[in-house]
Amino acid sequence: MNRDKSTFLIILQLLIITSLVIMDLVNQPQGIFRGVLFTMLFVITGILLFMRFQFITKLKGIVVELKRAIHGNFNTRLLANDDHILAEVIFSINELIEQLDKFQVQTIKSEAVRKSLLSNISHDIRTPLTSIIGYVDALKDDIAASEEEKQEYLAIISKKANSLKQLIDEIFHMAKLDADEVPLKEESLDFAEIARESLIEFLPVLKKYDIELKVRIPEENCLIMADRLSLLRIIRNIINNAVHYGREGKVLGIELTETAREYQLLVWDRGPGISKVNLSRVFERMYRSDQSRNPLNGGSGLGLAIAKALVEKNRGRIWVESIPWEKTTFGFSIPKHNE
């Protein structure tokens, strides 16, 4: 609105000046009309100067508010006025400040997550490492009374070392995923065949814990476009999680179903399950319930986070549902390959 007023006044000023020039050129008498024109010119010039000072004052106010935002006060907001051009600028600045505010909040959350992650990683590395050092010192000091006891110590050291290696491997893989350094080689795959192949390596473990396996995988081809290695890792991580935390239920189920646009692999067990409080956090890095913190359960706390990242890289989705001691299901989907 102010811009339109300024434009109108400038045009009017130009017309008055033009009229005065024409009057001088044609030697018109310098009467009352000429005086009125000069008066109007003076008034218009005064109004324009006032509007100019008002505009400068508003700009200075905007600069002050922007400096507050620059110094971290993202609660500040600029007030719009009736100049629609300036109002658009102010709206854009307010939107930018709002985005910066959200970014700051996200940064604070990310920093908290990073600190928690480092704390958990140091805990999970220090625990087996301390145990390994203890048993090595025991062997060095000949604390073991017999050869059988020595072999038992060595078995424990080997188990702890393997757990530590697995944790380091998964931390390394998660870092590569974050840096987008995990190349995907998409190809046409039979989801059913991949699921059956993944199950084979778990048969000895299922037998060891006397876990009944219930499988419903179609015999026909279930074609998808995905990266083979990442798909195998997704399934392995989910099944490994189900075996670790659901083996008390003595049943492991694997089902491959389909919808109009995707195939879904469901891995379920009848173990203690996951409380509603923890359901929304199971895919967070290093997040584990108190029960899973028990060293007997093992696990790095990164398996499901890696599975989620890989599923999303393959344009799929992942979810979990749980009714403790009845059925806990981890499922993920991959889009169908339409030839």
Domain positions in the chain are: 2-73, 114-178, 186-335
Query: 114-178 adopts what CATH topology?
Result: Helix Hairpins (1.10.287)
Cα distance between residue 315 and residue 63, in whole Å: 45
188-202 tens-digit pLDDT: 999 999 999 999 999
- Please answer whether residues 256 and 265 qualify as being in contact, where contact means their C-beta atoms are separated by less than 8 angstroms: yes
More confident residue, 301 or 162: 162
Report phi then psi at 256, rounded to 5: -115, 115
pLDDT confidence band for 291 (50 / 70 / 90): very low
Can you tell me which residue has the tokens 């037998």? Answer: 207
Percent of the chain whose predicted confidence (pLDDT) is above 70: 73
* Long-range CB pairs of 295-298, under 8 A, 24+ apart, other chains included: 295/127, 297/244, 297/245, 298/163, 298/244
How far from chain centre, in Å, is Cα 116?
A: 16
Report phi then psi at 174, rounded to 5: -65, -40
Can you tell me which residue has the tokens 């050092």? Answer: 133
Cα distance between residue 253 and residue 268, in whole Å: 5
What CATH architecture is 186-335? 2-Layer Sandwich (3.30)
Q: Is 0.85 surpassed by the pTM of this model?
A: no
Collapsing DSSP states into helix, strand and coil, what is residue 77? Answer: coil
Cα distance between residue 240 and residue 97, in whole Å: 45
Collapsing DSSP states into helix, strand and coil, what is residue 167? Answer: helix
pLDDT confidence band for 292 (50 / 70 / 90): very low
- Beta-carbon-side half-sphere exposure of residue 60 (alpha carbons within 13 Å): 6
More confident residue, 199 or 46: 199
How far from chain centre, in Å, is Cα 198?
A: 28
Residue 153's alpha-carbon distances to 116, 124, 144, 310, in angstroms, are 32, 20, 8, 37
Q: Do domains 114-178 and 186-335 have the same CATH topology?
A: no
